């Protein structure tokens, strides 16, 4: 066993009454790449945030090089040689590459007052050479936002090295990289490993796991399920660990759909460009036909393009998509949310706080926000009408609240989500695009939402559902499409869907025959 850099012992963490980590242990040796795997919500990010000094209130102990440590701030963790490369990079766009690399550890001339710009530049150039990042002195002075994401990624790594980091944590570093850029990153990972760094690597992509892993640790529901050398942990076993036994989730009794009706949403060759210029499309050549009363699931891990598919279809980014869309037989061109809502298409986003709710407004006003033209003839609000429809929705969705006038931000996660759902239902939609409808929702509200979805489809609505929780898809969907790198890699009918098969297809596994993964 090589030198042990880091040991986490029995780490536990709760948020309020919810336990998110329970007795998780993990160790990391010098020159090791340790994969941390698990479904969304398994506790990976929380564990990393504890290690990085972001969460300071936790149970258990961290040992660094044999000595116990407890970080009070991210900066302390940095100084101790731990660098985390987050999914959202922590670079400051308008600042130069050089200043970003040294941010928080500026080199000064003797006396400690004046910046040692020449010393910084020399060190930065040396660091860039180490990681094969070809930047000239002029490039170092340019704002980091002018560079493509792949370069930013490497700059982030250079920044970590400037802190003499021996432990690097990479949280899905490839989610926005092209193939060639991924290769470049992996070459660097290999070089860092040879220098004796320890790397904790979080990814959802099967091929990446087996390309870089020395050992693999799997978390599920906040517990460590197992740790094994990569060679001893073949794909089926890994998937088994991640999924475990069937969850005990159930939908509350709801009426069964009377059998699917006519097609209400048809996509043919639908493509959505990538939000960043010069990248392959986020979704290419997507085709599906959803009938009234049907729930069609889309299984996709981070970066699969599922979220972009919904945004594109809903017109959230304007008229940027190509391909044909038909709603109830009529051609439809996605161009703006307002148009989509008008034809009965609604999109529940995954980011409830950022793009779902207006937290400063009351429950009633949030519920009627998308259907105000109906609730205010001639542009004049009708408070009575508005309250009646908000009250009816609150009743139908059993939203628990003290008053329709309370700020929506004061509700629990599950009830907030129901308010967003109520907002869309008030528009009397035909098609619901639901993105992670039960994210951050407690188990009780979860099964209530499942029951509601059943009830809506029984009433003739069609639902497209994105979820990274496989049990949810298996429980609710009539059909499931697996999406990987913007393309459908497999389609499963309800009867033939297995968690193993879906996860393998969503991770772009090469083991499933007959599927190209671009």
Partner 1 sequence: MSTAPVRRWLASPAFRALLALAFVVAIGCAFNADGAFFRWSTHRDMLRQVSVYGILGCGMTLVIISGGIDLSVGSVVGLCAVVFARQTLHEGEPALAALAMVAAAGTAIGLVSGALVARFRVQAFVATLAMMVFARGLAKWISGGQKISQAIQHPDGTFSYVDLPPVFQRVDHRILGGNLSVVTLIFLGCVAVSWLVLEKLRYGRYLYATGGNEEAARLSGVPVARAKLLAYGLSGLFAAVAGVCQAAQEQQGDPEAGSTYELTAIAIAVIGGNTLSGGRGGIGLTLLGALTIGYLEKVLSINAVGESSRLMLTGAIIVAAVLLQRRKAG
In the complex, the residues that contact partner 1 under the rule CB under 8 A are 314, 316, 336-338, 340-342, 347, 349, 354-361, 365, 369-370, 372-373, 376, 379-381, 402, 409-410, 423, 427
Q: Report d(CA 54, CA 335) in Å as an integer.
A: 40
Residue (of 10, 13, 23) closest to 68 by Cα position:
10
485 half-sphere exposure, CB direction, 13 A CA radius? 18
Dihedral of the alpha carbons of 312, 317, 323, 324, in degrees to the nearest 10: 80
Q: How far is the CB of 462 from partner 1 (least distance, A)?
A: 20
Pick 105 or 387: Cβ nearer partner 1: 387
Distance in angstroms (rounded) separating the CA atoms of residues 214 and 428: 53
Task: Indicate the residue among 177 and 431 with the shorter CB distance to partner 1.
Answer: 431
Task: Look at the alpha carbons of 461, 464, 466, 467 in this order and tell me if their dihedral is positive or negative.
Answer: positive
- Provide, rounded to whole angstroms, the least separation between the CB of residue 397 and partner 1: 17
Report residue 398 as tokens.
Answer: 């059993």
Contact present, 483 and 506 (Cβ < 8 Å): yes
Work out how close the CB of 342 gets to partner 1 at its nearest, in angstroms, rounded to a whole number: 8
Contacts of 132 by beta carbon, 8 Å cutoff, 6+ apart: 184, 187, 188, 191
Coil vs helix vs strand at 246: coil
Token pair listed for 332? 């439809």
Do 400 and 415 touch, CB atoms closer than 8 A?
A: yes
Give the residue from 278, 84, 300, 303 showing the smallest Cα distance to 175: 303
**Cβ-based nearer residue to partner 1, 61 or 372:** 372
Strand ranges inside 177-308, DSSP E: 198-202, 215-220, 223-229, 263-272, 283-291, 295-300
In terms of CB distance, is 320 or 369 closer to partner 1? 369
Q: How far is the CB of 337 from partner 1 (least distance, A)?
A: 5
Closest approach, Cβ 446 to partner 1, in A, equals 23
CA angle (120 as vertex; 129, 169 as ends), nearest 5? 60
Q: Least distance (Å) from partner 1 to the CB of residue 110? A: 42
Return d(Cα 462, Cα 267) in angstroms, integer. Answer: 14
Q: How far is the CB of 145 from partner 1 (least distance, A)?
A: 17
Task: In angstroms, give the least distance from the CB of 282 to partner 1.
Answer: 18
CB nearer to partner 1: pick between 338 and 396:
338
Cα(314)–Cα(323) distance, integer angstroms: 14
Q: How far is the CB of 375 from partner 1 (least distance, A)?
A: 8
Contact 509, 497 (CB under 8 A): no
Sheet with 283-291: strands ordered across: 283-291, 263-272, 322-327, 330-331
Nearer to partner 1, 379 or 514 (CB): 379
Cβ atoms of 208 and 183 within 8 Å: the answer is: no
CB-CB contact of 163 with 105 (8 Å):
yes
Q: How far is the CB of 283 from partner 1 (least distance, A)?
A: 19
- In the complex with partner 1, the residue whose CB is nearer, 348 or 477, is 348
In the complex, least distance from residue 50 CB atom to partner 1, rounded to whole angstroms: 23
Cα separation, 403 vs 363, in Å, equals 8
Residue with smaller CB distance to partner 1, 118 or 428: 428
CB nearer partner 1, residue 284 or residue 427:
427
Q: How far is the CB of 376 from partner 1 (least distance, A)?
A: 4
Angle between helices 413-425 and 383-396 (to 10 degrees): 120
CA distance 375 to 371: 7
Choice between 353 and 494, CB closer to partner 1: 353
Q: Looking at beta carbons only, is 16 or 112 nearer to partner 1?
A: 16
Closer Cβ to partner 1, 92 or 338, answer by number: 338
């Amino acid at each position: 066993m090589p030198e042990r850099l880091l040991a986490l012992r029995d780490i536990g963490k709760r948020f309020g009454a919810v336990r998110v980590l329970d007795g998780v242990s993990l160790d990391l040796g010098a020159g090791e790449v340790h994969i941390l795997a698990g479904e969304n919500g398994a506790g990976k990010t929380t564990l990393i945030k504890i290690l990085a000094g972001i969460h300071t209130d936790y149970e258990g102990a961290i040992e660094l090089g044999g000595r116990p440590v407890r970080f009070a701030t991210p900066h302390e963790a940095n100084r101790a040689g731990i660098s985390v490369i987050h999914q959202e990079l922590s670079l400051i766009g308008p600042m130069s590459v050089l200043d970003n690399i040294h941010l928080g550890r500026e080199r000064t001339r003797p006396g400690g007052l004046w910046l040692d710009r020449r010393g910084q530049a020399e060190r930065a150039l040396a660091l860039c050479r180490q990681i094969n990042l070809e930047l000239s002195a002029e490039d170092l002075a340019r704002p980091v936002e002018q560079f493509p994401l792949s370069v930013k990624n490497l700059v982030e790594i250079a920044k970590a090295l400037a802190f003499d980091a021996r432990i690097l944590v990479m949280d899905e570093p490839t989610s926005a990289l092209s193939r060639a850029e991924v290769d470049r990153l992996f070459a660097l990972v290999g070089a860092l490993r040879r220098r004796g760094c320890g790397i904790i690597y979080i990814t959802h992509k099967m091929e990446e796991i087996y390309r870089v892993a020395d050992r693999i640790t799997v978390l599920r529901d906040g517990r460590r399920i197992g740790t094994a050398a990569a060679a001893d942990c073949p794909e089926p076993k890994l998937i088994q660990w991640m999924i475990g036994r069937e969850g005990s989730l159930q939908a509350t009794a709801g009426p069964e759909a009377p059998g699917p009706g006519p097609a209400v949403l048809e996509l043919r060759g639908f493509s959505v460009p990538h939000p960043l210029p010069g990248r392959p499309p986020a979704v290419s050549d997507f085709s599906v036909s959803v009938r009234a009363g049907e729930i069609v699931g889309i299984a996709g891990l981070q970066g699969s393009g599922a979220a972009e598919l919904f945004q594109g279809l809903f017109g959230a980014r304007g008229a940027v998509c190509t391909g044909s869309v038909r709603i109830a037989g009529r051609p439809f061109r996605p161009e703006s949310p307002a148009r989509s809502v008008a034809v009965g298409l609604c999109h529940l986003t995954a980011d409830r706080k950022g793009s779902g709710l207006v937290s400063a407004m009351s429950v009633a006003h949030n519920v009627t926000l998308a259907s105000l033209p109906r609730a205010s003839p001639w542009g004049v609000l009708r408070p009575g009408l508005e309250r009646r429809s908000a009250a009816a929705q609150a009743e139908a969705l059993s939203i628990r609240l003290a008053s329709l006038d309370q700020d929506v931000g004061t509700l629990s996660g599950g009830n907030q989500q129901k308010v967003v759902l109520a907002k869309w239902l008030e528009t009397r939609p035909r098609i619901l695009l639901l993105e992670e409808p039960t994210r951050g929702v407690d188990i009780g509200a979860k099964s209530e939402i499942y029951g509601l979805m059943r009830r809506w489809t029984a009433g003739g609505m069609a639902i497209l559902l994105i979820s990274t929780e496989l049990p949810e898809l298996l429980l609710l969907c009539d059909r499931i499409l697996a999406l990987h790198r913007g393309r459908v890699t497999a389609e499963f009918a309800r009867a033939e869907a297995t968690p193993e098969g879906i996860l393998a297809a969503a991770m772009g596994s090469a083991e499933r025959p007959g599927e190209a993964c671009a």
